[in-house]
Chain A
Amino acid sequence: MFRMTRRAALGAVAGLTLAAGPALAQEEEIVIGASLPLTGVFAFAGVAIESGLNDYITLLNEEGGIDGKPVRLVYEDTGYKVEQSLAVFNKITSSEDVHFYYGDSTGFAKTIGPEIERSGDMVLAGASFATELNDPEIHPHAFITGPDYSEMVEILLEYIAEESPGATVAMINSDTEFGRDPIERTKAKAEELGLDIVLEIVTAPGAVDVSTEVLKLRRSRPDYAIFHGYVLAPLPEFITQAKELGLETQFMGTFWSMDSKQWADVGEAADGYMGVMPYRYYHDTAEDAPMLDKIREMRGVYQHSGYMQGFLSAMLMTEATKRVMASGEELTGDTLKAALNSIQDFDTGGIIGVPISIPGNSVPVGRVYRFDAAAGEMMPVSDWITLGD
């Protein structure tokens, strides 16, 4: 019978340690954590964001990772529920050494915010463009891959002021935290640019019957109407009814209601719909966009604009990590955020058409697109607009 002596036990432990040694050394990698809504109302975006994040990480790893260390995305489904997002956050951060985390909602970002600041370990990126996250004083470790919601509307207003000075504008917002987000800043910016806000409509969440709102629109006959706080419904209904009433209002939207494919599915009513998009679309064949060629090589079919957001998020998160590691500093919330803010005139490979800088918590760049129903695609109608320039 085999009897375990002290020596045998020590030998076994030493043997196991030796065996595990190389494995442990290989495990030195950079981990990015993510709470992603792969099910639930926001699943369409979550799945696209996951592909974007993972595709960029795959490209990076093929080129040797960061300083020879591979990057790995660790993520779980949240169902777009804050409680589950937090569970995922705790699960991932309990078992992995995470310095960048991608969150799925404004609610999650607000809830985890105090913990991120307390621990000082990481920077929080995510799918939320909430204006309140774009305050480095309150959220020094938050980061938005694009303009915040107020900046998106401001980009639209700058475009309007350029195209038709003194135009009248209607604001149509959903009665949610998401929808009400840019209202105050929209009014201030409109006043600054000499635009006239003639109507403010706040629709109940999930409202489908918009006929009374369309009548209000007919009474005030604005030149432009800016939707915010929606993905698709009830925008097509709104636009169709307005067209039937003979209104010539130009309808516009912000990032989450600007996916090309979703408007292509709407059909003829979508023709002429405009809005702001911080990234190039999948089908954009601009010459200065080699990264889009790579994306089309990897993915043969159209990718939702959430994909570009995820892709660019991964690019900027890993770029900041690379900069901190090159400087020999420790990866912490402070060093990573400082590295993000050191990004100036950065070439995104054409994901965004101009070199970008990150002065605060956001990337305040965007371009206005118009949907062309005949082509079934969003077409650019403006140059890239960088706020603060």
Chain B
Amino acid sequence: MIIGTAKETYRADAALLTTRPQQTWTGVLALVLIALPFTLNDYWLYLVCLMTINAVAATGLNILTGFTGLVSLGQAAFMAVGAYTVAWMERDLGTPFPVNLVAGGLVAAGIGIVVGIPSLRVKGLYLAIATIAASFILHFLFVHWEAVTGGNTGINVAPARILGTELVSYFGLYWIIMPITVLMVLGAANLFRTRIGRAFIAIRDRDISAEVLGIPLLRYKLMSFAIASFYAGVAGGLWAYFFRVITPDSFPFMASVFLLAAIIVGGMGTIIGALLGAAFMTLVPELLRFVMDWASPWLPNATVLLSPVRTIVFGLLIIGFLVFEPQGLAEIIQRVRRFFRLWPFRT
């Protein structure tokens, strides 16, 4: 059982990492993240990068949906806005990639604010429909604004460059994707130690009460949309450098559902939930491939026969988590932490 963690200052009490084990494990995680690209092959590195990009987008959506209570099914469209902005700047302006990424985030944030306006009037499913409408309008623009988006053919993106070196391998890309993700996630974690983050939570819990307490709903709801879209825009920008081609089909409506599923499975309203959800949604279908590989010596043509089963099992796993762990994967982590924190006493 952890004892002796009494805090003497408010600052210490509000710190992100309050206990020694937390600090140690975070240090271990940092070391693992540094060691990862040296130990993984291209396949796993690809998955880690993809998962990390999804984690940024899911963290953004979690700020909006998990922390502010505003349901959105337009996150993938905002990713597309970021991706197209980056691709367009890379092609037509030739600006350096950090500038493009920030611009991608800002443009997405700007559009997020506009899309967020209905949130002042409608909530829940109604808002979800409004965001779907926005994503269809954006899709129409991607297809028909050919001068900027390249229409159906899309845009080929030149590789990101650092000091004249082109980042084309997953190893190289990891070193921009992972640090940016860490920064974004730390930013999100810190956001909820500030007045803004607490205002979001107050709005989620009861918006009328929040307004009575002096939180301007207009400003904070739109701010939440802006921040969530900024995250999506940056994630889209990273996606553009990662895949290096963008078409209107790159970010289908189902990608928004994927991100919403990620935060629900991971745990809404927790920072770690978005990370776990993104990891679950990206990695589990791939891990199920290995289960099929094990079956192949016994079952001829296992890949053809078992591929639909893989999809079904993935669906069942999601349903299973919703039924047996409605608080998401984050709750499992909490339970494990509680177990060690209180050991040898029972939770």
Contact = CB atoms under 8 A, between A and B. Distances in A.
A118 B166 CA distance: 12
Contacts of A344: none
Interface string B283-309: 001100100000000000001100110
Interface stretch (B27-35, B71-79, B104-112, B240-248): B240-248
B42 interface: yes
Given A94-B42, A111-B243, A114-B168, A82 B250 contact: yes
B286 A107 contact: no
A31 interface: no
B43 interface: yes
Interface string B219-246: 0000000000000000000000001110
B182 interface: no
A91 interface: yes
A107 B245 CA distance: 8
B286 A77 contact: no
B153 A132 contact: yes
B152 A93 contact: no
Interface in A243-300: none
Interface stretch (A157-165, A175-183, A332-340): A175-183
B249 interface: yes
Nearest to B50: A83
A56 interface: no
A177 B249 contact: yes
B41 interface: yes
B180 interface: no
A357 interface: no
B26 interface: no
A43 B143 CA distance: 26
A80 to B, nearest CB: 11
A77 B43 contact: no
B46 A90 contact: yes
A91 B304 contact: no
Interface string B244-258: 110111100000000
B204 interface: no
B152 A77 contact: no
A177 B311 contact: no
Interface in B138-157: 143, 151-154, 156
A83 to B, nearest CB: 6
Counting contact residues on chain B (CB < 8 A from A), the size range is 20 to 34
Contacts of B153: 132, 177
A84 B249 contact: no
A110 B153 CA distance: 10
Contact of A38 (B50, B152, B304): B304
A197 B87 CA distance: 35
B102 interface: no
Interface residues of A, number: 31
A353 interface: no
A114 B245 CA distance: 10
Contact of A39 (B152, B154, B311): B311
A94 B303 contact: no
A175 B311 contact: no
A118 B172 CA distance: 15
Interface in B310-326: 310-311
Contacts of B249: 107, 176-177
Interface string A96-130: 00000000000100110111001000000000000
Nearest to B248: A177
A38 B307 CA distance: 7
B307 A39 contact: yes
A77 B307 CA distance: 6
Contacts of B36: none
A87 B303 contact: no
A314 to B, nearest CB: 16
Contacts of A87: 43, 46-47, 50, 286
Contacts of A113: 245
Contact of A111 (B43, B244, B286): B244
B243 A77 contact: no
A39 B170 CA distance: 27
A95 B310 CA distance: 22
B245 A111 contact: yes
A79 B314 CA distance: 13
Nearest to B143: A175
A94 B41 contact: yes
Nearest to A75: B303
B152 A76 contact: no
Given A39-B308, A75-B303, A177-B249, A90 B43 contact: yes
Nearest to A51: B304
A86 interface: yes
B42 A93 contact: yes
A47 interface: yes
Contact of A50 (B41, B43, B151, B304): B304
A176 B285 contact: no
Interface of A: 38-39, 43, 47, 50, 75-77, 79, 82-84, 86-87, 90-91, 93-95, 107, 110-111, 113-115, 118, 132, 175-177, 180
16 contacts: A39-B307, A39-B311, A76-B289, A82-B250, A87-B43, A90-B42, A90-B170, A91-B289, A94-B42, A94-B43, A110-B247, A175-B143, A175-B152, A176-B152, A176-B249, A177-B249
Enumerate the 5 nearest inter-chain pairs by beta-carbon distance, A residue then B residue, closest first.
Answer: A77-B307, A38-B307, A177-B152, A90-B43, A91-B43
Given A39-B311, A175-B143, 10 more contacts: A50-B304, A75-B303, A82-B250, A83-B50, A91-B289, A94-B42, A94-B43, A132-B153, A176-B152, A177-B247
Interface of B: 41-43, 46-47, 50, 143, 151-154, 156, 168, 170, 243-245, 247-250, 285-286, 289, 303-304, 307-308, 310-311
